[in-house]
Amino acid sequence: MSPARSGIRRQTHPLVRALLAAASVALGIASPHASAFCGFYAGKADASLFNEASQVVLVRDGERTVLSMLNDYSGPLNEFALVVPTPTVLQQGQVRVAEKATFERLDAYSSPRLAEYHDSDPCRMNFWWGQNMYPRAVPAPMAAAAGAMRSEMAKSRDAALGVTVEAAYTLEEYDIVSLSAKQSDGLEIWLRENGYKIPKGASAALKPYINMGMKFFVAKVNLKEQKRLGYSMLRPLQFAFESEKFMLPMRLGMLNAPPNKPQDLIVYVLTKNGRVESSNYRTVKLAANENLPPFIKPKFKEFYKALYDTSTAREDYKVVFTEYFWDMSWCDPCAANPLSTEELRKAGVFWVGGDEAGNFQQMQIAPGGQKPAQGAVAPSSPPRILPGRPIPPGGGAQPVMLTRLHVRYTANTFPEDLMFTQTKDKQNFQTRYVIQNPYAGSVAACTATTAKSDCDAMCRSRVTDVERMVSEAKKNNWGSPGDYAGKSSNALQTDCLKACSESKRSAIETATRYYERELPERLAREKQTLAKLTGWSLAEIDRMGADSGNVTSVPVKGGDVQPVPPADNRTWWQKLFGAAPVTHAARG
């Protein structure tokens, strides 16, 4: 996806963080509220917990599904509970505690990115006389290559409410129950009687899932285990199950939100074959691969926030946006390295690195035992995953496709759960934006530089080389040296001087066209694009360029100036970590 322009040096500038709290869409800005896309947070003390943003990893092949949810809850842990509709009862071994790093890696790999390029010197003298006698060999480009037993009285009360506790167990810092219910009113009463002050309207929201025969996964924090394990933040939960439904149940997650308050959901879908899209809502690719003014570089986060705000509002919060689709074997440009086999296994990709069916089955079995029978209460023991085959040194193709979907929605604009389908489309896509830095020079500087080039001295040297090559060609039968054959030294010198003078004239003409016409026109187009994508006015954009503290003034012609970003003099690790340059004194 690189520009096919010769003489352009490329440098990739990845987006540092992408949409970790998508309610604000500004990268790197975390939401202070609780969030859940497919379940509501039911606080024991307060039912007004507000959910704004969610991240989900969805791994799917056939009917086998692995779903990971990142909790964004920030309230008291003793008031946390998560209720999620699931297609089956989730027994011990089908649920495990995942790692937040999995979300961070997928986010970094698929995040919207800014690619940076630098124009080549428009004042180059294309003086090839005497150096193009025979074609040169061009090397081929190199190939690119993760309960306690309940009392009988409690069970009797459950039965009276039409609720069955199908499974109950403790998984590290979580106490988990998996419920089935016959009526929504009974399930709502059960939740309230067990200490959860659930949001108003829960019964109506629960009813469609009960009618579909779905179960309910309920998790809360075991404070004793949480303290023993030493985790200060809630870790993600991951479920492995089989279901013909390729979906995310969003409606329960809307109970905590005002009907017209937009929420955001980012879904990382990992599949074997093609791009994933919604089957019941329109899926749209965000505007991408657009050139932006160079002064937008330090404001890229603000740009992307404005772009997404404008795009979602334009669509009335009724579409699913595709932000990324690529495989795990390579990327261009890469915002981060592709995930390794081990990282993919942690994300739930069960078909990499070994026996696919065995891996998926193993994800649902506790160590040293069989999968628990339906309705059994399993002892607490962590699930395990078979070790994956390592990737050969230097990388290797991964049969994994990543689709990144971003949804901003309200209870009114997304009245149905989100259904998915895997398409046959394998065309790579990324929300990539480009800045192309002008060359720091001017017409006057070009004129001065070309004037210093001594054509007479250069030609004397080249004529000597040409005469030697003509002699070697004749001796070794290399073929005719073309226009250089049969000419005297004086004739060759005359031809060379003419070519040198023409290359000087052409360099000055090219520089004049570049600085006086092409650059101003390009900047005007880039500003128009920026206004179209963000909704910013051209006056705002002009002020942004003039007021930016990260630009320098480079002479163009006479006293005119052209704003361009300064050279990036950071070391490679400072660029990798996003650090500012370290002063010489600081190193000591």
Q: What is the pLDDT of residues 305-338, one digit of tens each?
A: 999 999 999 999 999 999 999 988 877 777 888 8
Stronger pLDDT, 514 or 129, i.e. the higher one: 514
Please answer whether residues 461 and 142 qualify as being in contact, where contact means their C-beta atoms are separated by less than 8 angstroms.
no
Looking at residue 150, its pLDDT comes to: 56
Residue 256 to residue 297: CA distance in whole angstroms = 37
Please answer whether residues 430 and 113 qualify as being in contact, where contact means their C-beta atoms are separated by less than 8 angstroms.
yes
Is it the case that residue 352 has pLDDT exceeding 70? yes
Identify any residues that bridge with 113 across adjacent strands, giving them in sequence order.
Answer: 432
pTM of the entire predicted model: 0.71
Is it the case that residue 585 has pLDDT exceeding 90? no
Short-list 585, 96, 7, CA closest to 382: 96
Torsion of CA 208, 209, 213, 218, to 10 degrees: -150
Looking at residue 60, its pLDDT comes to: 94
Residue 517 to residue 50: CA distance in whole angstroms = 53
Domain ranges of the chain: 9-41+50-72+88-116+236-368+403-436, 441-546
Q: How confident is the model at residue 420 (pLDDT cuts 50, 70, 90)?
A: very high
Q: Supply the DSSP symbol for 336.
A: S
Looking at residue 151, its pLDDT comes to: 66
Give the least confident one: 121-135, 279-293, 389-403, 456-470: 389-403
Q: Give how far Cα 387 sits from Cα of 357, 362, 396, 471, Å.
A: 14, 11, 17, 66
Tell me which amino acid residue 197 is. K
Quickly count: other Cβ atoms within 10 Å of residue 369's Cβ. Answer: 12
Stronger pLDDT, 167 or 576, i.e. the higher one: 167
Percentage of the residues of the chain whose pLDDT score is greater than 70: 69
Place of tokens 């070009």: 446
Looking at residue 160, its pLDDT comes to: 79
Short-list 388, 145, 391, 407, CA closest to 276: 407
Q: Supply the DSSP symbol for 151.
A: P
Place of tokens 């909790």: 71
Looking at residue 22, its pLDDT comes to: 28
pLDDT tens digits along 176-224: 889 998 887 888 888 877 766 677 667 888 888 888 888 888 888 888 8
Pairing of strands 64-70, 53-61: antiparallel
Cα dihedral 517, 519, 520, 525 sign: positive
Q: Indicate the burial class of 394 (C-beta count within 10 angstroms; 0-12, 13-18, 19 or more).
A: exposed
Mean residue pLDDT across the chain: 75
Structure tokens at 221: 């924090």
Give the least confident one: 125-129, 232-236, 267-271, 568-572: 568-572
Stronger pLDDT, 15 or 62, i.e. the higher one: 62
Give the least confident one: 111-125, 229-243, 469-483: 469-483
Please answer whether residues 295 and 562 qualify as being in contact, where contact means their C-beta atoms are separated by less than 8 angstroms.
no
Is it the case that residue 72 has pLDDT exceeding 70? no
The most confident of 78-87, 500-509, 554-563, by mean pLDDT: 500-509
Structure tokens at 432: 């990539």
Short-list 257, 220, 203, 216, CA closest to 47: 257
Looking at residue 497, its pLDDT comes to: 94
Q: What is the full DSSP assignment across 339-400?
A: PPHHHHHHHT-TTSSS-HHHHHHHTTS-TTSPPPPTT--PPP-----PPPPPPPTT----S-
Name, in order, each residue with C-beta under 8 angstroms of 468's C-beta and a sequence gap of 6 or more: none
Torsion of CA 395, 322, 351, 364, to 10 degrees: 130
Stronger pLDDT, 451 or 478, i.e. the higher one: 451
Residue 91 to residue 70: CA distance in whole angstroms = 20
- 6 three-class SS: coil
Greatest Cα-to-Cα distance within the chain, rounded to the nearest angstrom: 113
Tell me which amino acid residue 293 is. P
Looking at residue 70, its pLDDT comes to: 85
Q: How confident is the model at residue 498 (pLDDT cuts 50, 70, 90)?
A: very high
Q: Indicate the burial class of 265 (C-beta count within 10 angstroms; 0-12, 13-18, 19 or more).
A: buried
Looking at residue 54, its pLDDT comes to: 82
Please answer whether residues 376 and 169 qualify as being in contact, where contact means their C-beta atoms are separated by less than 8 angstroms.
no
pLDDT tens digits along 246-295: 998 877 766 666 677 888 889 999 999 899 999 999 999 999 999 999 99
Q: How confident is the model at residue 10 (pLDDT cuts 50, 70, 90)?
A: very low
H/E run at residue 188: helix 184-193
| 333: preceding bond cis by omega (within 30 degrees) | yes
